[in-house]
Amino acid sequence: MLNRLWLGFFLVAALAALARWSLGDVAVFAGIVDSLFAMAKLSVEVMVLLFGTLTLWLGLLRIAERAGLVDALARALGPLFRRLMPEVPAGHPAIGLITLNFAANMLGLDNAATPIGLRAMRELQTL
């Protein structure tokens, strides 16, 4: 379904460009190429920013995990998560990851929280 939607976007854009060209706008294709390169540049800039930010926070979260901060946070928030998820045993590694995911989301680290959430889901599959 989504593939058809994207195909429709591209076809409408191509038809609009052809219509503008047929009406005498010869610079329409130059504008398309300029926009294409501008968006490619913007994509690389956003990727570098996200990669750097994600690497920093995931590294800090890994250090916190190995230092035992995650377990301490899991113990502190244990009563809350036991009520929210009574099926998960108290000492299960998923509780620490869920707590870490919760903390990352509370800090606004949406992109860093996603891999942690995936790891938590993987741990929950072992139950």
- What was the pLDDT predicted at 64? 81
Record the tokens describing residue 102, joined without a space.
């919760």
* pLDDT range class, residue 18, cuts 50, 70, 90: very high
- What was the pLDDT predicted at 77? 80
Domain that holds residue 117: 2-124
119 in Cβ contact with 88 (< 8 Å): no
Most confident of 33-37, 83-87, 114-118, 122-126: 33-37
Instruction: Determine the average pLDDT of the residues in 39-63.
Output: 88
113 in Cβ contact with 97 (< 8 Å): no
* pLDDT range class, residue 45, cuts 50, 70, 90: very high
59 in Cβ contact with 109 (< 8 Å): no
* pLDDT range class, residue 110, cuts 50, 70, 90: confident
Say how many domains are in the chain: 1
Per-residue pLDDT at 112 exceeds 90: no
Q: Could you give the CA distance from residue 117 to residue 86 in angstroms, rounded to a whole number?
A: 18
Q: How far apart are the first and last CA of the chain?
A: 34
Which position has the higher pLDDT, 71 or 18? 18
In the chain, which ranges are continuous DSSP H helix? 2-22, 28-67, 69-76, 78-84, 93-106, 110-124
